[in-house]
Amino acid sequence: MREPVTAYVGLGANLGDAAAQVRAALQWLQALPQSRCVAISGLWRTAPLEADGPDYCNAVAALHTRLTAPDLLSALHALEARAGRERPYRNAPRTLDLDLLLYGDARIESPRLTVPHPRWQQRAFVLVPLHEIAPQRVSAAALAAVADQPICRW
Let me know if 94 is a catalytic residue.
yes
| pLDDT at res. 90 | 67
Report the distance separating Cα 29 and Cα 72, nearest Å.
Answer: 10
Report the distance separating Cα 102 and Cα 21, nearest Å.
Answer: 22
Report the distance separating Cα 139 and Cα 79, nearest Å.
Answer: 30
Let me know if 45 is a catalytic residue.
no
- Cβ neighbour number for residue 72 with a 10 Å cutoff: 24
pLDDT in tens, the chain (154 residues): 789 999 999 999 999 999 999 999 999 999 999 999 999 999 999 998 776 789 999 999 999 999 999 999 999 999 999 998 877 666 667 889 999 999 999 999 999 999 999 999 999 999 999 999 999 999 999 999 999 999 999 9
Active-site residue identified among 17, 45, 97, 107: 97
| pLDDT at res. 11 | 98
**Which tens digits make up the pLDDT trace of 108-136?**
999 999 999 999 999 999 999 999 999 99
| Residue 78: closest CA among 44, 33, 118 | 33
Architecture of the domain defined by 5-153: 2-Layer Sandwich (3.30)
Let me know if 66 is a catalytic residue.
no
Let me know if 85 is a catalytic residue.
yes
Active-site residue identified among 2, 17, 52, 94: 94
pTM tops 0.85, yes or no: yes
